[in-house]
Structure 1
Amino acid sequence: MPKSVMHATRAGQPLQPVGRRRFLQVASVATASTALLISGCNKDDDTPSAATVDLGSGDVGVLNYAYALEQLEAAFYAQIIATPYTGISAEEQAYFTSIAKHEAIHRDFFKAAITAAAPGNIIGSLTPDFSSVTFTDRSSVLSTAKTFEDLGVAAYNGAGKLLKNTDYLLLAGKIVSVEARHAAVIRDLINNGDFAADDVVDASTGLDKAMSVDEVLMAAQAFIKEKITATNVGK
């Protein structure tokens, strides 16, 4: 496994190589900084520069893609914690608190990793649009959570092949396994035993669903006010 890899950014500048030691340092810093904040309810403080956000190219484009999705999930779960739905149980509250922490750590990791690898090429904070979600209603919250978690798993499964840096690929594998655990919990809260239903796991192959970048963004765009473009992601 190479200790560092260099790729092109959307601005045409080289993606700075990230060695394994530096990679792990970034992960540690991101995790530690998130732990010092409240339980996943903090907001990223970058400001988007325009109504249209391009994710970039090469590995940095893939990382920005993941960062965009993690921003969306972190904001969603932070809102659940801030305004729990009517009748939420202590067990459900605990589940959502844990998931919110995980998603905030994922978001902060990608922010730190992209900043370290490609300064100036990180996307800013996206503006979530949760107008279609009724946060006081359990059904509305759980159905949206199911959408986000299933989408997240399929997104990582589909994007893995686009990564060139094997350190990033290893990280993506670790994160997608956590996202799948989240998806399983949410699905069981909706319908016990639905954690690995045929709509997400192919019964003939035993493999989880994978989606392309375009397919994922088409589904996610309804929950993000900025227009996301991803023409060169992974290229």
Structure 2
Amino acid sequence: MKNNELETKNELQDERLLNSTVGRRSFLQYAGASAAAIALVAAGCKKDRGYENPTMNGGVTLDFKDDFGVLNYAYALEQLEAAFYIQVANSNTQFTGTNAAAKKAYFQDIQFHEIAHREFFKAALSTNAIGSLEVDFSSIDFTSEASVLGAAMAFEDLGVAAYNGAGPRIKTGAYLLLAGKIVSVEARHAAYIRDLVSNGSFADLNSLATLGADNGKGLDAALTPDKVLAANAAGKYIKTKVSVINL
């Protein structure tokens, strides 16, 4: 089967997932199947491009010479977000207010979304995937609602900017489509969490100007990978050394 036929098959399958009402387990199953189809396309591309696993010297290298670098970049960020929300779920964060139970339930939902995203990229990349990243959340007080919400807002805003900034580097249509569907979910997370932090701020693009948002044009933030992975951004929470080449 040709690559474009595989991409079309994957897109149709992904559309069925989008238009179906499925539970969390079913979502993970669908995501895995969709990732398997993408992996077949990736396998063909690997043969043509001579891609090599970027893990080296106890760290990881993201090589942006092709789509694999972009996918591994997204995989790295999804690892980080999934690890954060898993720790929230296991830390008994003391959510407050009359909607405390709803907050806790929503954070559980986000956890499953991020796990699904992480596992999707892992399955799609297969042997091309970078290894598991070691994270450091020592600066976050997971018992404090304010600390958790502040960290979640930073992660989600940065995640949206990261996907938007990586989009122009994706050459394969099927990958770009799926990245668009994932970043829209991340933006929903960001809007909800921003509203919890400060009611009515969910659409405040002015506060995201430092991440590249342009409120006057109604454009959300976009950051290049080097800025996202900087020590004062995502790099603050990643202990594994991450190198970027061919950016």
Q: Does structure 2 conserve the Cα–Cα contact (< 8 Å) formed by 1:23 and 1:113?
A: no
Higher relative contact order (CA 8 A, sep 6+): 1
Give 2:72's aligned residue. 64
2:8 to 20, 24, 27: 20
* Counterpart contact for 1:155–1:216, Cα < 8 Å: yes
Asked if 1 retains the 8 angstrom alpha-carbon contact of 2:93 and 2:145, the reply is yes
User: Are 1:82 and 2:70 an aligned pair?
Assistant: no
- Using the size of structure 2 for normalisation, the TM-score is 0.75
Q: Secondary structure at the match of 1:230?
A: strand
Q: Does 1:209 align with 2:215?
A: no
2:245 maps to 231
Q: 2:28 maps to which residue?
A: 31
Report the CA distance between 1:25 and its aligned residue. 6.6
Aligned residue identity for 1:214: D
Q: Residue type matched to 1:81 in 2?
A: A
Amino acid of the structure 2 residue aligned with 1:21: K
Distance 2:145 2:13 in 1: 39
- The structural deviation recorded for 1:79 is 0.6
The one-letter amino acid of 1:231's match is I
Q: Is the 8 A contact 1:26 1:112 kept in 2?
A: no
Q: 1:74-108 CA distances to partner (integer Å, 9 max, x unpaired)?
A: 01001111112124510111110110010000000
Stretch deviating more after TM superposition (52-61 or 212-221):
52-61
What stretches of structure 1 of length at least 5 have no aligned partner? 6-16, 36-47
Asked whether the equivalents of residues 95 and 104 of structure 2 are also in contact (C-alpha less than 8 Å), the reply is no
- Tell whether 2:139 aligns with 1:128: no
User: What corresponds to 2:115 in structure 1?
Assistant: 104
Structure 1 position 196, deviation (Å): 1.5
- Shift, 1:24, TM fit: 6.6
Aligned residue among 143, 168, 173 for 2:175: 168
Q: Which amino acid aligns with 2:3?
A: S
Structure with greater helix share of residues: 2
CA distance in 1, matches of 2:146, 2:90: 17
Matching residue of 1:8: none
Contact 2:95/2:103 (<8 A) preserved: no
| Mapped partners of 1:18, 1:154: distance in 2 | 29
SS in 2 for 1:188: helix
User: AA paired with 1:64?
Assistant: N
Whether 1:179 and 2:178 are equivalent positions in the alignment is: no
> Is the contact made by 1:61 and 1:232 (CA closer than 8 Å) also made in structure 2?
no
Q: Deviation at 1:72?
A: 0.3
Deviation at residue 19 of structure 1 after TM alignment: 3.3
Moved over 6 A (4+): 23-30
Task: Find the partner of 1:51 among 51, 58, 64.
Answer: 58
Q: For the aligned residues, what is the CA RMSD?
A: 2.5
Distance across 1 between alignment mates of 2:184 and 2:68: 21
2:160: which partner in 1?
153
Q: Structure 2, unaligned stretches of length 5 or more?
A: 18-25, 33-54
* Contact kept in structure 2, 1:58 and 1:232, CA below 8 Å: no
Q: How many residues align?
A: 204
- Give the share of equivalent positions with the same residue, in percent: 52
Deviates more, 1:23-32 or 1:130-139: 23-32
- Alpha-carbon distance between aligned partners in 2 of 1:97 and 1:85, rounded to the nearest angstrom: 12
